Homo-oligomer: A and B are copies of this chain.
């Protein structure tokens, strides 16, 4: 398998000028596209329609190139607070050129789960379904659990309309439904890569801070624009002929610049970073490095938005580039207050 990765800026959620330029210049072959991860400039919370707008725009455009644009994994994560810069990361996959000798480099697998019922969102059935989906994507990529470095899941949320008629939903709160949906998806990833087992998870604990039940490679993002989960698994395989490599570490807290530097170093090509992928949350203890923070008590700004601004700023200062992927809400993704961070670098 040969995977190529391209990063293009967006001037707005419906700006495809960067994508079009890559196609025009024959750098990107749109028929080989398998996944797109975007950071769009909405609030990243319940009423963020920039995700859906970007998705609709992309799928409309790709109709000209692909028989089924819905077959592509399209994960839009809202929220470019602070220095973060809206952009798309495009993943293309094709068969390896047999002339090129394989080396340990990037491969990927994808999966779409079935749609979830409102009452399933945030529960054990969702964990199990996501876990099975991740394992299918790993099989597709021929990745063993220890070769997986990053698993991105886009998952659904509950609106008032979707809750209606269902007394069995996990929460009556739109924003709260994003948390349990992200949490269940992340636990699904952890189960799939063997970090813990399904029977260690109690449904009532899903979405609550936990020092034990977290995945070191999961990144999950909830959105109003889908009802199923879309999964993208990234890892390094010795059978790859890609020109990129991936590495990851786990941030212990929002200011853990060391972990970010570590992920860059672990690619062995820290000067050739294509993109960085990190998770952010306001430490649920109310403290960071022993100091009180006010994010959880600020009723004017969602703490997720502030958390993205914080991790985005620290990571951008380390990478030297604010056009990176930082996604908010890291329930069961890294330890409370921290989160996984992965870097993709270009090989020489």
Q: Which residues of A does B touch, CB under 8 Å?
A: 9, 11-14, 41-43, 45-50, 52-53, 56-57, 60, 80-86, 159-161, 164, 172, 174-175, 224, 254-257, 284-286, 288-289, 291-302, 305-307, 309-314, 316-318, 320-323
Contacts and interface: CB of A to CB of B under 8 A. Distances in A.
Contacts of A285: 160
Contacts of A294: 41, 47, 80-81, 84-86
B159 A297 contact: yes
Nearest to A163: B286
B42 A82 contact: no
The 9 closest A-B pairs by CB, nearest first: A45-B299, A160-B286, A85-B291, A53-B53, A313-B313, A310-B313, A309-B309, A255-B317, A300-B300
B321 A291 contact: yes
A318 B261 CA distance: 13
A66 B30 CA distance: 30
Contacts of A310: 82-83, 309, 312-313
10 contacts: A41-B294, A47-B300, A53-B56, A81-B298, A83-B254, A83-B255, A174-B296, A175-B299, A293-B322, A314-B314
A209 B185 CA distance: 30
Contacts of A286: 160-161, 164
A211 to B, nearest CB: 15
A31 to B, nearest CB: 23
A315 to B, nearest CB: 9
Which DSSP category, helix, strand, loop or mixed, fits chain A's interface?
loop
Contacts of A309: 81-82, 306, 309-310, 313
A82 B83 CA distance: 13
A12 B47 CA distance: 9
B299 A46 contact: yes
Contact of A314 (B50, B175, B302, B317): B317
Identify which of A42, A82, A172, A288 gathers the most chain B CB atoms within 10 Å of its CB. Answer: A82
A80 to B, nearest CB: 5
A298 to B, nearest CB: 6
Contacts of A302: 299-300
A56 B49 CA distance: 13
Given A47-B297, A160-B296, A301-B81, A291 B323 contact: yes
Contact of A42 (B11, B49, B291, B317): B49
Contacts of A56: 14, 53, 56-57
Nearest to A306: B82
A293 B85 contact: yes
Contacts of A305: 301
Contacts of A47: 41, 294, 297-300
A41 B310 CA distance: 16
Contacts of A256: 317
Contacts of A12: 49, 52, 224
A186 to B, nearest CB: 19
Contacts of A321: 289, 291
Contacts of A313: 82, 254-255, 309-311, 313-314
Contacts of A317: 255-257, 314, 317
A56 B312 CA distance: 31
Contacts of A322: 255, 288-289, 291, 293
